[in-house]
Chains A and B, each alone.
Chain A
Amino acid sequence: MNAHRSVLARTVSTPALLILLLLAIALVAKLFGSGPFERTVTELFIRIVLVVGLYIFIGNSGVMSFGHVGFMCLGAYGTAWLTIPPAMKKFALTGLPDFILQHQAPIALSLVLSPLLAAVFALLIGRILMRLAGIAASIATFAMLAVINTVYSNWETVTGATSSVVGIPMKTGVWLSFGGALFAVIVGYGYGISRYGLALRSARDEAIAAAASGVDIERQRLIAFVISAFVIGVAGVLYAHFLGVVNPDAFYLNLTFISLAMLVVGGMNSLSGAVIGVVAISAMIEILRALEKGIPVGEAMLAIPNGVQEIAIGIAMIVILIFRPSGLMRNRELRWSRWPFERTSENK
């Protein structure tokens, strides 16, 4: 019992610092920002939910999953089905069961049910996939995403196929998405210090030794898989209520790439890495976007040509990885050290 409390005490500064950082960003947006800036920050927080969800599985298991964005799709469409007013969904989504077509759920309920859908799907398919390891597992998760994408892109009566499903109440603002990020960080932290997280990380680092110590690797991976699916499902719900529309292509290769890039550039194996990766890359994207629009310098406009923005992001990511191959956080967590108050003889 004492040992457990000391783990909490030693590490709780990490989520605390991360949450403070996000809170600061939220406050800046609300107090000083304009409408568009608030939207940018909202999107940032939604991305944090997504990337922290990725970290929960990828960071702890060491298995690179290309498929998790599929859970965001499930969550997003789930909330679309539940929360679009009956008048709109009756004609577009005729394949849905009557019970759903006739009712409209409040977002609070959907925030629980839709991610649950993603988690249940993860449980079912995870039982098959988690016995794979390494790159076979990565391909299998990608195949899972491809299946989801193909099905959602073609099942007209239920998902509207490739046309966007409209009419989702646009309720996600800075505070709701901040709440999502808060939830994700707490779940990520809690899982990380739990014995499940520890068991999974031991299997990540030394599979044979872990198995010999009684760790059921498949089961631990499945647990992380399901938890991460739930968190990412929440990201999907928030995203749907942010855009007001969903379509399957939003949840496929581009989002997969950018979310994985944020995780790896930040540092794959730490919660701080996930958050910092999102903040850093999002900041870069926004700065470049502003540069593309042009900054007035005296009487002239300083602007970069169109299209250079994305190229610059790609170059920036490569440069960061060359100098910090294990990510910006170097696989360490943000910690409040006691240095300003007390010098100890610990190794510095």
Chain B
Amino acid sequence: MTAILQIVFDALSLGSIYALGALGIALIFGVMRLVNFAHGDYISFCVFAMLVPSTDAMSEMFLGSLPTVVLVPVILLIGAGVSVLSEIVVFRRLRDANPATMMIASFALGFILKHFLLMLFSSRPKSINLWPDLSLPVEILGARLPLLQLIAIGITIIILVALSAFLKQTRFGLEMRAAAENFTMARMLGVKANRVILIAFAISGMLAASIGLLLAAQTGTADIQMGVSVMLVAFIATVIGGLGSLAGAVVAGYLIGAASVLMQVILPLEARPFRDAFVYAAVIACLIWRPQGLFAPKSAKQRV
């Protein structure tokens, strides 16, 4: 029983990270039809923003030494900031370009961010001491789980609820949903393109920052590559969930998290190192079965 509970919470907490990532990608894809490959690097950027630039293996806290109540909003703002800056400097000028061009531009942007961090911090992963008390285990129904895992799951749920409320009940949310469905038609009704896109980037950046904080606390490491694996899974989850469907992206994120954890448990010992291969094979199978995604939005009509 305790083992099963452990697995469930593992799946939920991994799935939460993937779901947040997928949400960040899906938001931007919804309004701009752009897959932002720099998203993973926003995550890393937010983590390293907490540290003093150095090449040592031990890190020194810069912003990270702020009290939590201040630290969290500051990092969220940094995430939103770097994301919004990307839109203003790069993506805005490629608004009408074809998808491949926008993709490569986002690759290049991520490349720039990564090497900027490399210049300041070197490629050696650093240990980071963020909220160490949260790693202490808590007892639930006989299973001992790190408090951080529960917090990660809880925070994700709060974020999902808040975002959902924002989208359903505010004017901006309405405009974003309309723009995601048919951008040109929304503009013809007076929806300001730049404003909607900026909001999407800002929220996406804040989601990246949240992932960064959670990952840093969970792994105790700051690594330039830490956002990349999340980004890849997020990208996959967005497509499996159904492009343009935020709910789909979130569900797919949890599914992949669950599949990952389950594979680890089910696979025989010799096959365990190949776990990722099985997960990716499952992804291919999923796409063959439902290429349009699990929750393809109902109106698949041509845009104006």
Contacts and interface: CB of A to CB of B under 8 A. Distances in A.
Contact of A322 (B94, B277, B281): B94
A257 B276 contact: no
Contacts of B235: 139, 142
Contacts of B90: 318, 322
Interface in A256-279: 257, 260-261, 264-265, 268
B104 A154 contact: no
Interface residues of A, number: 41
Contacts, number: 121
Contact of A264 (B104, B243, B288): B104
B281 A325 contact: no
B291 A147 contact: no
B100 to A, nearest CB: 5
Interface string A121-164: 00000001101110110011011101100110010000000000
B281 A143 contact: yes
A38 B153 CA distance: 55
B107 interface: yes
B179 interface: no
Given A150-B274, A264-B100, A307-B119, A318 B109 contact: yes
Contacts of A133: 291
Nearest to B237: A139
A6 interface: no
Interface stretch (B110-118, B142-150, B156-164, B190-198): B110-118
B276 A321 contact: no
Nearest to B272: A154
Contact of A314 (B115, B240, B287): B115
Contacts of A135: 35, 239, 243
A143 B273 contact: no
B98 A326 contact: yes
Contact of A325 (B97, B111, B277): B97
Give the one of A139, A140, A311, A314 with max B CB within 10 A. A139
B287 A136 contact: yes
Contact of B274 (A131, A151, A326): A151
B298 interface: no
B49 interface: no
Given A150-B274, A154-B273, A310-B111, A64 B236 contact: no
Contacts of A313: 111
B107 A146 contact: no
Nearest to B271: A154
Contacts of A260: 103-104, 107
A318 B228 contact: no
B96 A314 contact: no
Interface string B238-252: 011001000000000
Nearest to B270: A154
A307 B98 CA distance: 30
A110 to B, nearest CB: 26
B90 to A, nearest CB: 6
A148 B237 CA distance: 20
8 contacts: A131-B291, A135-B239, A139-B287, A142-B236, A310-B112, A321-B94, A321-B105, A321-B108
Closest 7 CB pairs of A and B: A307-B119, A314-B112, A325-B97, A150-B277, A310-B115, A154-B273, A143-B280
Given A143-B236, A321-B97, 14 more contacts: A136-B287, A140-B283, A140-B284, A151-B274, A260-B104, A260-B107, A264-B101, A264-B104, A311-B119, A318-B105, A318-B109, A321-B101, A322-B105, A325-B97
